Amino acid sequence: MTSTPETQWVALRGRLQEISALVSAADLLEWDQLTYMPSGGAGARGQQLATLQRLAHEKLIDPTLGLLLDTLEAATAQQDAASDEPAILREVRRRYERAIKAPPAFTAEVAEHLAASYDAWAVARPANDFGLVRPFLEKTLDYSRRYADFFPGYAHVADPLIDVGDHGMTVATIRPCFAALRQQLAPLVKQISDQTPPDDRCLYQPFAEDKQIAFGEQIITAFGYDFERGRQDRSPHPFSTRIGAGDVRITTRIYPNDLAQGLFSTLHEAGHAMYEQGVDPALAGTLADEGVSMAVHESQSRLWENLVGRSWPFWNHHYPQLQSIFPEQLGKVSLDTFYRAVNKVQRSLIRTDADEVTYNLHVIIRFELEQALLEGSLAVADLPDAWRAAYAEALGIAPPDDRDGVLQDVHWYAGLIGGSFQGYTLGNILSAQFYAEAVRAHPEIPAEIGGGKFNTLHGWLREQIYRHGSKFTTAELLQRITGGPLRLEPYLAYLTGKYGQIYELT
Amino acid sequence: MTSTPETQWVALRGRLQEISALVSAADLLEWDQLTYMPSGGAGARGQQLATLQRLAHEKLIDPTLGLLLDTLEAATAQQDAASDEPAILREVRRRYERAIKAPPAFTAEVAEHLAASYDAWAVARPANDFGLVRPFLEKTLDYSRRYADFFPGYAHVADPLIDVGDHGMTVATIRPCFAALRQQLAPLVKQISDQTPPDDRCLYQPFAEDKQIAFGEQIITAFGYDFERGRQDRSPHPFSTRIGAGDVRITTRIYPNDLAQGLFSTLHEAGHAMYEQGVDPALAGTLADEGVSMAVHESQSRLWENLVGRSWPFWNHHYPQLQSIFPEQLGKVSLDTFYRAVNKVQRSLIRTDADEVTYNLHVIIRFELEQALLEGSLAVADLPDAWRAAYAEALGIAPPDDRDGVLQDVHWYAGLIGGSFQGYTLGNILSAQFYAEAVRAHPEIPAEIGGGKFNTLHGWLREQIYRHGSKFTTAELLQRITGGPLRLEPYLAYLTGKYGQIYELT
């Protein structure tokens, strides 16, 4: 049989489907491990996961896949770049090139090192013993630089590492943006901290767990999360995962004496999951059927969690219902008190506990420390002190120990250094850019939110962002939607407007 | 590097681990599909499963695996046949030979046909329309014969089909055994049917579902099912599945107005699962780490469900507790009434609803019809009538329609014909042989059961059967344990003893 573009396309799709099936099975193994797996399953599970991931990787670096890409790229060169086939080829090419450039022996060595590093961290953090992880972190830093060197021609050593999660983003783009954000946030945090803090005791009462879950699920159903194509379970750390085109799950963690943690984690993960649920089914099983970047993904979780879920119109509508569910706890708490409680700004040591305003300072500190480590201007040995100094400068507080300092996040101990954190703050910035565009296109959106309706907003996001999966890069999406690049202004306007009002700043 | 038996062994184990990981992942995909998967996941799930099963099959038929087997068989020829390495090689060889003999194109064609056949059955059964499935069944019969022909030299066309699930068993062994059993059962069923039936209304009352589940889980924990290495969930049809060495799960189905169904399905599936949980960890990931046959597997589920779980000593001990859980429903029901209710014998149309005594008649009818179809003495077109005639003769009742007749079981519509049913009755026969040996070795077992203790019995089964996985064939196990072959007498003695007493037969 003569090979034609049609048969080559079928061959490529078949290979991508195989990779997708292996990755989806691995995703289910992980979901199960974090939700229902009995403890006795742990040993075999690690091996099962490693095997499936290796098989998927082997299929991705198969030279025949490269040949198919070469041929099909030539055959589709005349097609509209925004149509599916060229976009799929671009995404597969990107993944293929990344996968083939790091030699398999290096990849295996790093995976083994990171597994040992994670184990060391799991002991070191509760023991508050940075010395235990220091040799691992030094080796990880070395591996991170070596990984970058597989992609010669970069402007900054972190660029190839950032590119993994945020393709197209570079230190040159991010650093000035983060510096400007930091400069604007510092006085805002200072101003807020000079005010009397809101009374948020209403959030810390006994709240029946099943009622917490039911309320959260009702809200995300209204947002547009589709329970026919997903489900929510409980796990020690909330996450979202796509097991297949029609199966995008979330998990939450419910605290019996803390209303906000469980609820906002549900809204957050539902934001991630609605993105994945909204991808065009035509892209299913092509590797281009996932959200495009950490930054855009985080923009969606943050948009639903914060811009919608912590907004005045949202609570103006939903608070009476929440009061009726928890009359004893909230019956005498005013809407204003509750709204201020869920938006309380507080300088704290732990990133994951941070509010909307201070959160970005935590991220920017980490981003800058990562760059300093990679550039060689900061030694791993000096990292704990540098961490404390950075917190003192940016937030005015410093951790008394490393447990709540340099040891607090798993990222550097279970992955390479240099690309793990930028997405969180890029996502915050993007969330405001996207939301502003949505409201520009549909000025009725805030009023609809105030009426408990979210379908105009959800429809706009689906149309502008979700359905495209990975067809367009973050920058291309931004260009298509806003007509320009990443801009800080909408996010700053959002923060200063909202918190200026809450804290009655002048 | 020179290839040595040691490096070859490592290479073989690596390949078997890969196959095991793929099969385990497929098993988890299936478990999830039947327990927690949202409906939207169905489309992708079918494809994911098919891909993983195909990849596992491809790895099993890899000629390099065959070469490794050749070499290692020669290298281990002098070893004790009962030690692990030769046993693993035997089991892998058996699976390899079976897999390579049916050409991949045939296997794929059959899989596609059976998927369509299943879909037709799912419509035909509720519609009571045998005509809908008849052409599929004719094709399945043809495929079944063609499958057998890939294994030339068989004595009976069904032998290669029986061999899939019950390796070593043949029509020549099974047919006389089943004929003798049928001959003994017919008068027993007749005698029982002449008595006043026990009053089993006590089982059909409202029973809180969570209490039903908790009681069942307490019982199987006492049996020896390890919840650290397993879990129980709910599914439309109960099943057990091994996701990995330390992760063997069961499911149950609970009926709010029927106490017996959920409870005995839990005991039954726990019997299967304890077998898998008891396999020697040294066999993990070798393909020899599963229960050896349908028959031995069913012997374990039936032993725990019936010989233990429906016995007088068992209920003598546990019934007061059950009464205290359901005082309103059972407080005034005597132990004797309850015991007779859970052992009620009733001629019925549906195999899965049948009691211990009549159950085997359902199985033998199917086994004989399968043989007649394969031999060509019965045409598919005449199957519905043959079914009715067989029921009338063996049980004295006949289904008024095909829905509860020839359409009732999924087996012939989703799999090949000829090897699906014999294991159920072989398992019943074996359960009594094994139990009799256990009691011969440990005469205290019945008294222990009467005291709510099961560890002597569980320990004996683990030592004699469970730990061996697939190291020995069914016949070898029987020989090792009883010193002889399959024997009907212990099972007949069990049935006539127990039911003679319950029904006060002479």
Q: Mind telling me the catalytic residues of A? A: 269
Q: B118: which residues sit within 8 A by CB, 6+ positions away?
A: B410, B413, B414
Cα Rg of chain A (Å, integer): 23
- Through-space distance between the first and last CA atoms of chain B, rounded to whole angstroms: 75
A224 forms bridges with which residues in the sheet? none
DSSP-derived 3-state class of residue B348: coil
Q: How does A470-496 read in b/e, with b if 16+ C-beta sit within 10 Å?
A: bbbbbbbbbeebbeeebbbebbbebbb
Q: Respond yes or no: is residue B228 known to be catalytic.
A: no
Domain range summary for chain A, segments of one domain joined by +: 5-101, 201-337+424-502
State the Cα–Cα distance between residues B348 and B369, nearest whole angstrom.
Answer: 18
Cα Rg of chain B (Å, integer): 23
Please answer whether residues B430 and B486 qualify as being in contact, where contact means their C-beta atoms are separated by less than 8 angstroms.
yes
Are the beta carbons of A41 and B243 separated by less than 8 Å? yes
Please answer whether residues B157 and B374 qualify as being in contact, where contact means their C-beta atoms are separated by less than 8 angstroms.
yes
Considering the entire predicted model, what is its pTM?
0.95
Identity of the residue in A32, A39, A48 whose CB atom sits nearest the CB atom of B21:
A48
pLDDT at B495: 97
For B249, the closest chain A residue by CA position comes to: A38
B247 forms bridges with which residues in the sheet? B244
For A245, the closest chain B residue by CA position comes to: B44
Do the strands B232-234 and B247-252 form a parallel or antiparallel pair, or are they unpaired? parallel
Q: B23: which residues sit within 8 A by CB, 6+ positions away?
A: B52, B53, B56
Identity of the residue in B17, B29, B230 whose CB atom sits nearest the CB atom of A28:
B29
State the Cα–Cα distance between residues A291 and A276, nearest whole angstrom.
Answer: 6
B249 forms bridges with which residues in the sheet? B241
Of the residues B217, B269, B356, B368, only one is catalytic, namely B269
CATH of domain A201-337+424-502: 1.10.1370.30
- Give pLDDT tens digits for B22-64: 999 999 999 999 999 999 999 899 999 999 999 999 999 999 9
A34 and B CB contact within 8 Å: no
Do the strands B240-244 and B247-252 form a parallel or antiparallel pair, or are they unpaired? antiparallel
State the Cα–Cα distance between residues A162 and A168, nearest whole angstrom.
Answer: 8
Digits of tens for pLDDT over chain A (506 positions)?
A: 568 989 999 999 999 999 999 999 999 999 999 999 999 999 899 999 999 999 999 999 999 999 999 999 999 989 888 899 999 999 999 999 999 999 989 998 999 999 999 999 999 999 999 999 999 999 999 999 999 999 999 999 999 999 999 999 999 999 999 999 999 998 999 999 999 999 999 999 999 999 999 999 999 999 999 999 999 999 999 999 999 989 999 999 999 999 999 999 999 999 999 999 999 999 999 999 999 999 999 999 999 999 999 999 999 999 999 999 999 999 999 999 999 999 999 999 999 989 999 999 999 999 999 999 999 999 999 999 999 999 999 999 999 999 999 999 999 999 999 999 999 999 999 999 999 999 999 999 999 999 999 999 999 999 999 999 999 999 999 999 999 999 999 999 999 999 999 999 87
Distance from CA of A493 to the nearest CA of B (A): 40
Q: How does A420-430 read in b/e, with b if 16+ C-beta sit within 10 Å?
A: bbbbbbbbbbb
State the Cα–Cα distance between residues A409 and A136, nearest whole angstrom.
Answer: 15
Dihedral of CA atoms A86, A91, A95, A97 in degrees, nearest 10, equals 40
State the Cα–Cα distance between residues A446 and A243, nearest whole angstrom.
Answer: 33
Are the beta carbons of A45 and B229 separated by less than 8 Å? no
- For residue B155, how many C-alpha atoms fall within 13 Å in the half-sphere facing its CB? 10
For A24, the closest chain B residue by CA position comes to: B48
Report ipTM (2 d.p.): 0.94
State the Cα–Cα distance between residues A359 and A495, nearest whole angstrom.
Answer: 12
Q: Which CATH code of 1.10.1370.30, 3.30.43.10, 3.50.50.60, 2.130.10.30 fits the domain covering B201-344+424-502?
A: 1.10.1370.30
B168 and A CB contact within 8 Å: no
